[in-house]
Amino acid sequence: MSTENIYRTKTLGEVSESDIGATLRASGWVDTIRDHGGVSFLDLRDMYGVLQVVMRDTTLLEGLSREDCISVEGVMQRRDEETYNPKIPTGTIELVAAKVTILGKVYRPLPLEIASSTETREDVRLKYRYLDLRNKKVRDNMIFRSEVISFLRSKMTGMGFLEIQTPILSASSPEGARDYIVPSRKFKGMFYALPQAPQQYKQLLMVSGFDRYFQIAPCFRDEDSRADRSPGEFYQLDFEMSFATQEDVFRAGEEVLTATFRKFAPEGAAVTEAPYPVFPYKQAVLEFGTDKPDLRNPLRIIDVTEFFSRCTFKPFHGKTVRAIKVRGEMTKSFHEKLLAFAQSIGMGGLGYLEVAGDLSFKGPIDKFIPDGMKSEMLELGGLAAGDTIFFIADREERANLFAGQIRTELGARLDLLEKNAYRFCFINDFPMYEYDKDEKKIIFTHNPFSMPQGGLEALTGKDPLEILAYQYDIVCNGVELSSGAVRNHSLEIMVKAFEIAGYTEEDLKVKFGALYNAFQYGAPPHAGMAPGVDRMIMLLRNEENIREVIPFPMNGNAQDLMCGAPSEVSEQQLRDVHLKIRP
């Protein structure tokens, strides 16, 4: 019995000039058709490449249309030199068709043009995603995604991590975002939840004695879409280490991310060398106006609150005042446009001073700074001739936010961002708790399973709002790639930490029973993190929207337009899981 493939002898990525004179079968999709009267040409496309097919018998073209899936049999020949196509690897050869078989017919008008599908409305692209994925750019993103994930697996294994899959059906837990819940058929009125992260399971693996775990973990959160966040589900490189400190996790994260970005970043791109810079949360919010700083932007924010408390400029009195120094001449139009931007984000105005050649100031608030204090401002801002310094004043939280937005806007308008670079940093020392004004109580700021700095002594002796946690993020180019923490492995500390956030010990037994029980059997110190795979690939491909690197993404409204999810289910299906839809 013949084992030869009946559809193709080779893929279009395998054919070459060495096949000239050979009889071959090739399969793929009809990309273009060009009828030149006595002879016709079509471009045949598969996943691996494109090949020109010549049809001297025009009857072979009958019934064919673009995007038909076909198999072509014929003899490979060299193209005439004047018809070479240097844009494709097969540009010097062509297949002279003797037989054409239609394998899959197109029955409807195409809803989008394959070659330009990325320019089509997103709702059409997502509804016909299987056609959009035929587009070379979109397809290449998916191939790239596969290569990155394969590399991540190989790298983590080489670093001594063991890949273990954790459950998808799990128990609901208050980790921040809303759960997707799944009703139980066997247990009336009870629900599973899809995991927001494998948090408890990976900690339990450490208690089980598995020293280093990882997985490419699917995570499910019922949260709204953003450009860098896919609604519903996403993947992360989840890993955990026993007998590890924060610094051990930093070194592991740096090793895998630096290796990945060096391998897959665009040619010539600069990648931060390890060790990455580390900014405590409070410092990051002050210097960058955000805990997700883009270090390609060289601008820094400084605090000038105390200085302006001694000036006569009353609009700044009693407020937090931040300042940003920039270099370069700025026109009246520049200042007007920047003021318009400031007002568009909710600021009342935007003060500034320009430094003249003799180091005098000019600008709308110059007259409110006493002459004896102007040299102090020069020193405080590190100012020189030709500099301009902008001032942002408001309540502390809003002043930080606005200063961060002005910093970003200045970086963009002045074209200050470093080109073709991936700049990483760690943000750490996050507050353990915050006060929820709506609930009027203290809640966890970040991951509730984190170890508080100072342990039990801090929990019992300090103001909860002053307690810091061993929590950290990795940020790249202003995008949060990863969050992580040194975990709380002590039952006594866990009980007290949750008590401060309003949970009783009985709540722990019910909601986190597995961890509560496991911590009574010799839990090791452990820590980990989870870089987002989708965000990593989005950055590496220089895509502005994360949906461009996900094979079958939902739209921004968390709908699968292609398969029609979410959808209604039958009355019987509802009865099976003991549910009734309320009007």
> H/E/C letters for each residue in 228-251?
CECCEEEEEEEEEEECCCHHHHHH
Mean pLDDT computed over 58-77? 95
State the pLDDT confidence band at 232, using cuts at 50, 70 and 90. Answer: confident
Instruction: Please tell me the predicted confidence (pLDDT) of residue 4.
Output: 84
What are the structural domains, with CATH classification, of the chain? 17-104 (2.40.50.140), 119-265+533-583 (3.30.930.10), 297-417 (3.30.1360.30)
- The owner of tokens 């500390």 is 493
pLDDT in tens, 320-376: 999 999 998 789 999 999 999 999 999 999 999 999 989 999 988 888 898 889 999
Mean pLDDT computed over 44-56? 96
Burial class (CB in 10 A: 0-12, 13-18, 19+), 283: middle
Question: Rg of the chain's alpha carbons, rounded to an integer?
Answer: 30
Instruction: Please tell me the predicted confidence (pLDDT) of residue 226.
Output: 77
Mean pLDDT computed over 384-404? 95
**3-class SS letters over 61-130:** HCCCCCCCEEEEEEEEEECCHHHCCCCCCCCCEEEEEEEEEEEECCCCCCCCCCCCHHHCCHHHHHHCHH
How many alpha carbons lie under 13 Å from residue 364 in its C-beta half-sphere?
11
> Does 79 score more than 90 pLDDT?
yes
Integer Cα distance of 257 and 108 in angstroms: 45
Instruction: Please tell me the predicted confidence (pLDDT) of residue 153.
Output: 98
- The owner of tokens 């902008």 is 390
Integer Cα distance of 57 and 327 in angstroms: 70
Burial class (CB in 10 A: 0-12, 13-18, 19+), 554: buried
Q: Which two tokens stand for residue 89?
A: 């690897």
> Which positions ≥6 away from 346 have C-beta within 8 Å?
398, 402
Of 175-189, 384-398, 472-486, 541-555, the poorest mean pLDDT is in 175-189
- Residue 303, beta-bridge partner list: 322
Residue 566 in 3-state DSSP?
A: coil
Selection from 72, 98, 94, 96 nearest residue 83 by Cα: 94
Q: Which two tokens stand for residue 512?
A: 């986190």
> Which positions ≥6 away from 475 have C-beta within 8 Å?
291, 292, 293, 424, 425, 426, 427, 481
Q: Which two tokens stand for residue 16?
A: 């070459």
Q: String of b and e for 290-316 (b: at least 16 CB within 10 Å)?
A: bbbbbbbbebebbbbbebbeebebeeb
Integer Cα distance of 154 and 152 in angstroms: 5
Between helices 136-158 and 246-264, what is the axis angle to 10°? Answer: 140
Instruction: Please tell me the predicted confidence (pLDDT) of residue 174.
Output: 60
Strands (E), 255-386: 270-271, 278-280, 301-303, 320-327, 351-355, 361-362
131, 110 contact by CB (below 8 A): yes
Residue 197 in 3-state DSSP?
A: coil
Looking at per-residue pLDDT, the higher value among 123 and 226 belongs to 123
pLDDT in tens, 80-120: 999 999 999 999 999 999 999 999 999 999 999 999 999 99
Integer Cα distance of 525 and 522 in angstroms: 10
Integer Cα distance of 547 and 333 in angstroms: 37
Give pairs for 281-289: CB < 8 Å, separation 24+: 281/427, 281/428, 281/429, 281/430, 281/431, 282/429, 284/427, 285/400, 286/322, 286/400, 288/404, 288/407, 289/322, 289/400, 289/401, 289/402, 289/403, 289/404, 289/405, 289/406, 289/407
> Does 225 score more than 90 pLDDT?
no
- The owner of tokens 């400029």 is 313
- Stretch (H or E) spanning 480: strand 479-486
436, 174 contact by CB (below 8 A): no
Instruction: Output the CA torsion 178→184→189→191 (10° steps).
Output: -20
Instruction: Please tell me the predicted confidence (pLDDT) of residue 156.
Output: 98
State the pLDDT confidence band at 312, using cuts at 50, 70 and 90. Answer: confident
> Does 2 score more than 60 pLDDT?
no
Mean pLDDT computed over 208-220? 97
> Does 127 score more than 80 pLDDT?
yes
User: How far is CA 101 from its chain centroid?
Assistant: 44
Instruction: Please tell me the predicted confidence (pLDDT) of residue 328.
Output: 80
> Does 401 score more than 60 pLDDT?
yes
Instruction: Please tell me the predicted confidence (pLDDT) of residue 142.
Output: 98
250, 276 contact by CB (below 8 A): yes
Task: Determine phi and psi for 76, rounding to 5 degrees.
Answer: -80, 135
- Which CA distances in Å does 167 have to 150, 191, 486, 526? 22, 15, 22, 20
Instruction: Please tell me the predicted confidence (pLDDT) of residue 228.
Output: 80
- Which CA distances in Å does 493 have to 189, 393, 449, 496, 513? 33, 40, 10, 5, 15
> Does 240 score more than 80 pLDDT?
yes
pLDDT in tens, 265-283: 999 999 999 999 999 999 9
Q: pTM here?
A: 0.93
320, 396 contact by CB (below 8 A): yes
**Average predicted confidence (pLDDT) for the chain:** 94
DSSP 241-282: EES--HHHHHHHHHHHHHHHHHHHSPTT-EEPPSSPPEEEHH
Burial class (CB in 10 A: 0-12, 13-18, 19+), 205: buried
Task: Determine phi and psi for 327, rounding to 5 degrees.
Answer: -115, 140
> Which positions ≥6 away from 297 have C-beta within 8 Å?
407, 408, 411, 416, 417
